[in-house]
Structure 1
Amino acid sequence: MANFTLTPETAQKVKIKFLRKYRELVQEEIPFTPGHEEELVTRLMELTNRDRKYVEFTINKALADPDGNRL
């Protein structure tokens, strides 16, 4: 179970930050439906070849400053 919750607005900001960090990703590859954070984590793990701990840490870091320009 993911240790965060996302709204459509914060999910979009997290998505933008991941797209900046991993330029090979395409926005259509990162779908999000509210309440399905676990699916987002799993998909990002597959796309970035990273483990769950790293992906969740990166998402939490993005959520700490959603309006900032840094990941």
Structure 2
Amino acid sequence: MASFTFTPESAERVKIKVLRKYRDLAKENLQFVPGQEEQLVEQLMELLKRDRAYVEFTIKKGLADPEGNRL
């Protein structure tokens, strides 16, 4: 179970931040949909070859300051 939740606005902002940080990901690879956070975590774990803790930390960091540019 993912330890964060998205709103439509925060989902779009985090998507932009993740795509900036990981330029090799294509937009169609990322489906940020509120209510399906667990699927996003699993998808990013596979695409980034990282563990759950890293992926959730990265997303939470993006959610902490939605107006900032840093991830």
**Same fold per superposition (TM over 0.5):** yes
TM-score, with length taken from structure 1 = 0.95
2:24 counterpart of 1:32: no
Write the letter of the residue equivalent to 2:23.
R
CA–CA distance in 1 between the matches of 2:29 and 2:10? 17
Write the letter of the residue equivalent to 2:10.
T
Q: In the alignment, what sits opposite 2:64?
A: 64
Matched pairs, number: 71
CA–CA distance in 2 between the matches of 1:69 and 1:59? 13
Counterparts of residues 1-71 of structure 1 (less than 5 Å) = 1-71=1-71
CA–CA distance in 1 between the matches of 2:34 and 2:70? 24
Identity of aligned residues (%): 68
- Provide structure 2 residue ranges, at least 5 long, that are not aligned to the other structure: none
- Provide structure 1 residue ranges, at least 5 long, that are not aligned to the other structure: none
- What is the root-mean-square deviation of aligned Cα atoms in Å? 0.7
